[in-house]
Amino acid sequence: MSGLVVVLMTLVGGMSTMFGPLLGAFIIVLLEDRLGDIGGGLAKLTGIGWFNSLGESVTIVTGVIFIACVLAFRRGIVGEIFARIQPLQG
């Protein structure tokens, strides 16, 4: 596994907790394994044939998810969840 993928897993999940990188790793590995199936399902659902080739574009899709997570979740997914729960706890 390349160093970039490990950094991506950490940033997607969040660096402030131990659970964050584990969640990021789960998301990235699941995405790499199932992207072809997801594309096939989207092609059937929408009728857009391009989705069938989605499994060949794992790097591009992973990059888009990385950009979305960095822009939307500054602390990672788990870090954002904890930041929103913490004020509610008092």
d(CA 69, CA 90): 27
Q: pLDDT for 6-63, tens place per residue? A: 666 666 666 666 777 777 778 778 888 888 888 889 899 999 988 888 878 878 887 8
What pLDDT sits at residue 51? 85
Under 8 Å CB-to-CB from 23, ≥6 apart: which residues? 12, 13, 14, 77, 78
For residue 25, what pLDDT is reported?
78
The model's confidence at residue 81, banded by pLDDT at 50, 70 and 90, is: confident
Is residue 28 a contact partner of residue 8, using CB atoms and an 8 Å limit? yes
Q: Which residue has the higher pLDDT, 6 or 86?
A: 86
pLDDT of 44: 93
Written as six digits, the tokens of 43 are 């092609």
Tokens 């059937």 identify what position? 44
Q: For residue 53, how many other CB atoms are within 10 A of its CB?
A: 11
**For the residues 59-68, what does the mean pLDDT come to?**
80
What confidence score (pLDDT) does residue 47 get? Answer: 92
